Amino acid sequence: MQDGGEWEHFPHGSDIGVRGYGHRLEEAFQGAATALTAIVADPQRVQPLKKVEISCGAPNIEVLFNDWLNALIFEMDTRRMLFSKFSVEIQEGHLTATAWGEGVDVQRHHPVVDLKGATFTELKVEEHKGRWLAQCVIDV
Amino acid sequence: MDLALIEKKSDYLWEIPPTASMHVPARIYASEDLIRAMDGKVYEQLVHVASLPGIVGAAYAMPDAHWGYGFPIGGVAAFDAAAGGVISAGGVGFDISCGVRLLKTGLHKDELLPHKEKFADLLFASIPAGVGSQSALRLSGAQMDAMLRGGARWAVDQGYGLKDDLERIEDHGCIAGAVPEEVSAKARERQRPEMGTLGSGNHYLEVQEISEIYDAPTATLWGLTPGEIVISIHCGSRGLGHQIGSEYLRLMVLEAEKYHIPLPDRELACAPVHSQIGQSYLGALRAASNCALANRQILTHFTRGAFQKLFSRRDLPLLFDVSHNTCKEEEHRIDGEVKNLFVHRKGATRAFGPGHPALPEIYQSSGQPVIIGGSMATGSFVLVGTKEGEGLSWSSACHGAGRAMSRTQSGQTWDGRSLMQELAARGILIRATSSQGVAEEAPGAYKDVTRVAEASDKAGLARKVVRLTPHICVKG
């Protein structure tokens, strides 16, 4: 499944929280990734023109979520890109994903702020009644 | 914060007595108003910090303290490595050695006013700022190593600034003990296009006027005169520091169990100073600190270039450069005995008083300048370190106004364009790449810096010297 997922931001004293939801764990990860882009720019203005492959592994699912967001931040920072579509697969603590996006265009995207890193604050990955939630605070 | 939870020791000192888990008390320096407005999370985070292994003295919160990551922002804690003390990646934060420097222009505000719009445009064109911005500078692997070892000293050797700048930077512009080999390939890659960039968020370059003098002898000694224009630059170690912060936080979270360190909050992640991870982080942290010092030095060079284009000279001497996200190895006296401590300052400024051996000759008689950044409209302060600060907070003071409102709320409350127009009408020119970014950094989203500086002064942490009011603000 490839999509931007269901997402929202939540407030933090000085920074901003990202939260993704989904019926599958992967969808929640995808939603949180869209929320990450939405800190910087409107994801709907970001065209999925170029794809980037991402892979990471961690000893538990929450650290894996943190790794996923930090991998995206690294790609955004070094490629000067924004992403709007994601496809995530998770198996036995290992994540493989494709993120689609385009280069930052200041005139069109009006980027607000750089992302420093995904934190362990309010970090939560959990399932409740068949619905997954993945969230943490992003330092900007 | 709930006043019932803390004991009032004086008008500007409040204490959380040690509970079962705390090795030391926690102390908050603030007025009653600031305490009442302080986030309750500061209490919780101070209790956690006071419970970390090897902490000495107390866990301190500065008057601008607010909810941070593990440690409160505006938090200070010192650890004795010989007693199992720890070093914490969360206690330093993601923007390693973020700090502020202040340049004197020798220009009176009346000389600036006719050129203000043009100077704002020139600065905005000269300082790479905002998301995705890059400078023309690209370092090879060997040059990156030299920069990570040399800091501002390296930058000056490359032609970015003057030898005289170096004695006006903490640690003379170069943190000893940096180990570039501990800096990952990813951190280097993030930094490659970002040397000499300002960044975004709360980072800024501001042209300010010395609008009020509180301590005339010190202001005179430092050459600060009423109506003079100064320039402040606030930024840090950019992508390299952020990547190091993320990598070591993860590593310390996963390894905490190995060192039997209970973590009530994963952001407190830490390792014994003498452990392999502790030593590795120290080497990387010091390298990242040098990156921040080099970055501010390069931005200073760009600023001098812009100034020269308009005013036909580039002699903008540095008053001082302070870092406020650090962990430094310092000598402090405990119960009459001098000890080597690892002092974490997360959103707090070192504030050495007169006579401190680490200070350059020019600040020996006065103590070091402590630069406190405010918001875009309310102004900033320069304070001076005190002798008594040593016994109060390991010679530390506040670093800024501190946020009073989240970015989310601030972005929804203000409209960036209207705000810029409103500020322009008040004579404050904003040059920013993002109007939404301006809304998120709205002056109303911050605490009143005047009360924060006042509390630092009254508590004895650092004494007010001058107030600065903004004319031009360049934001990312």
The string of DSSP codes covering B222-251 is: TT--TTEEEEEEEE--HHHHHHHHHHHHHH
pLDDT at B411: 87
Which of A13, A112, A123 lies at the smallest CB-CB distance from B434? A112
- With a CB cutoff of 8 Å and minimum separation 6, the contacts of B453 are B372, B381, B383, B398, B464, B467
Interface contact B416, partner A, CB < 8 A: no
Question: What was the pLDDT predicted at A97?
Answer: 98
What's the complex ipTM? 0.93
Q: Please name which of A41, A139, A65 lies closest in space to residue B73, comparing C-alpha atoms.
A: A139
CA distance, residue B363 to nearest chain A CA (Å): 34
Q: Three-state DSSP class for B21?
A: coil
Q: Report the b/e string of B392-413 with b at 16+ CB within 10 A.
A: bbbbbbbbbbbbbbbbbebbee
Task: Supply the pLDDT for residue A81.
Answer: 96
Residue range B293-334, pLDDT digits in tens: 999 999 999 999 999 999 999 999 999 999 999 999 999 999
Domains in chain B with CATH codes: 3-85+94-404+446-475 (3.90.1860.10)
* Per-residue pLDDT, A1: 52
Radius of gyration of chain A (CA): 14
Spatial separation of the C-alpha atoms in residues A72 and A74, rounded to whole Å: 5
What per-residue confidence (pLDDT) applies to A117?
Answer: 95
Total of domains in chain A: 1
Assess whether pLDDT exceeds 80 at residue A4: no
Q: CB neighbours (10 Å) of residue A65?
A: 25
Quick check: A38 pLDDT over 80?
Answer: yes
Q: Which residues of A touch B69 (CB under 8 A)?
A: 119-121, 137, 139
Q: B406 to chain A nearest CA, in Å?
A: 5
Per-residue confidence (pLDDT) for residue A83, from 0 to 100: 98
Q: What 3-state DSSP class applies to B80? A: coil
**3 state SS of B289:** helix
Nearest to B441 by CA among B471, B474, B403: B403
Task: Quote the domain boundaries for residue A44.
Answer: 6-139
Under a CB-based contact definition with an 8 Å cutoff, are residues B57 and B235 in contact?
no
pTM of the model: 0.96
Virtual torsion, Cα B291, B294, B300, B304, nearest 10 deg = -140
Q: Is residue A92 part of a domain?
A: yes
Spans in chain B with pLDDT lower than 50: none
Q: Is B64 on the interface with A (CB under 8 A)?
A: no
B-chain CB neighbours of A106 within 8 Å are 130-132, 433
Beta strands in B218-374 (DSSP E): 228-235, 270-272, 318-323, 325-334, 337-346, 349-350, 369-372
The pLDDT score that the predictor gives to residue B46 is: 97
List residues of B with catalytic annotation: 399
Predicted local distance difference test score (pLDDT) of residue A87 = 97
- Average pLDDT of chain A? 94
pLDDT of residue B8: 97
CA-CA distance, B192 to B214, in Å (whole number)? Answer: 43
Chain B residue numbers with beta carbons less than 8 Å from the beta carbon of A140 are 200-201, 407
Q: Name the H helices within B113-266.
A: 116-126, 141-150, 152-157, 163-166, 185-191, 216-221, 238-255
How many CB pairs lie under 8 A apart between chains A and B?
120
Predicted pLDDT at B313: 93
Provide, rounded to the nearest whole percent, the portion of chain A with pLDDT above 70. Answer: 97
CB B92 within 8 A of CB B268: no
Distance from CA of A41 to the nearest CA of B (A): 10
Task: Report pLDDT for A2.
Answer: 55
Residue A80 lies in a domain: yes
Whether A12 shows a pLDDT value over 90: the answer reads no
What 3 state SS string does B438-473 have?
A: HHHCCHHHECCHHHHHHHHHHHCCEEEEEEEEEEEE
Q: Which of A61, A65, A77, A79 to mutate to test the interface with B (most CBs of B within 10 A)?
A: A77
Residue A135 inside a domain? The answer is yes
In a domain? residue A1: no
Residue B7: the pLDDT is 97
**In the Cβ-directed half-sphere of A12, how many Cα atoms lie within 13 Å?**
24
Please give the backbone phi and psi of residue B90, each rounded to the nearest 5 degrees, phi first: -70, -30
Question: Could you give the CA distance from residue B426 to residue B442 in angstroms, rounded to a whole number?
Answer: 15
- Decide: helix, strand or coil at residue B403: strand
Least Cα distance to B461 among B410, B395, B409, B373 occurs for B395
CATH of the domain at A84: 3.55.10.10
pLDDT at B459: 98
**Which pair of tokens denotes residue B424?**
């322009």
Q: Which two tokens stand for residue B54?
A: 């090897």
Angle between helices B141-150 and B276-311 (to 10 degrees): 90
Q: Evaluate if residue A23 carries a pLDDT over 70.
A: yes
